[in-house]
Amino acid sequence: MDYRNRHVVVTGGTGALGNAVVGALVQAGAVCHVPYLHAAEAERFPLREHAAVKLIGPTELTQEAAVERLYAGVPTLWASIHLAGGFAAAPIGETSKADLQKQLDLNLVTAFLCCRAAVNAMVRGGGGRIVNVAARPALEWRSGAGMAAYAASKAAVAAFTAAVAEEVAKAGILVNAVAPSIMDTPANRAAMPKADHAAWPKVEEVAATILFLASPDNKVSRGGVVPVYGRS
């Protein structure tokens, strides 16, 4: 896939999946604009010195003004990939309204604000690609037992993706999402040491799906929430 001279925003780009996505994008020739919230994220980011990586922060993606500033600084936006989010698991009886609101802010609100800013930029630029990140419980609701607030927020991301995709297709903007199962990351291995790690999708494999959906090679796919489960 050829991303030469194309500008791409990658939220959550300093995380495990983000490292794989940004790495693959710069290898394909993209210029990546990567917002971060905490200085420590930028300091440990392996590609922080790469000429094609622009770290921008601190940026609070739940705040409208911060998101608008982020996108205003990107010349001719081609793609916007939204990996930023949060996870929490707790029984419903122990989940407060504040807990629910936090999941909605981290997952739905960040995707909404970034999609809105990206659409406005892409309309001016003549089109582009957007990729959101849902999760397996967004498609398989019963798998969200014990994490209902998280599942609801990711299901909202899936519905939002489909609705926006239908709205902006005629502007040449193709919007999709991926829905990963548990990914093979050091943090997830530490949290679940007895799981079948070999069955989990690798971040590089999920990144490959994201890169296609965000690429010029994707000419027709829109409104999809693509399962990326591996063998799990």
**What structural domains and CATH numbers belong to the chain?**
7-227 (3.40.50.720)
Decide: 6 and 31 in contact? Cβ < 8 Å.
yes
Query: Exposure of 123 by Cβ count < 10 A (0-12 exposed, 13-18 middle, 19+ buried)?
Result: middle
pLDDT at position 75 = 95
Please list the pLDDT of the chain residue by residue as tens digits (232 residues): 899 999 999 999 999 999 999 999 999 999 999 999 999 999 999 999 999 999 999 999 999 999 999 999 999 999 999 999 999 999 999 999 999 999 999 999 999 999 999 999 999 999 999 999 999 999 999 999 999 999 999 999 999 999 999 999 999 999 999 999 999 999 999 999 999 999 999 999 999 999 999 999 999 999 999 999 999 8
Is the Cα torsion angle 155, 157, 160, 165 positive or negative in sign? negative
* Active-site residue list: 150
pLDDT given at position 86: 96
d(CA 98, CA 75): 37
Q: Are the beta carbons of 101 and 57 closer than 8 angstroms? A: no
Closest of 85, 196, 86, 70 to residue 121, by C-alpha: 70
pLDDT at 72: 98
Pairing of strands 31-35, 7-11: parallel
Q: What is the DSSP letter of 12?
A: T
Amino acid identity for residue 140 in this structure: E
**Looking at residue 212, what is its pLDDT?**
98
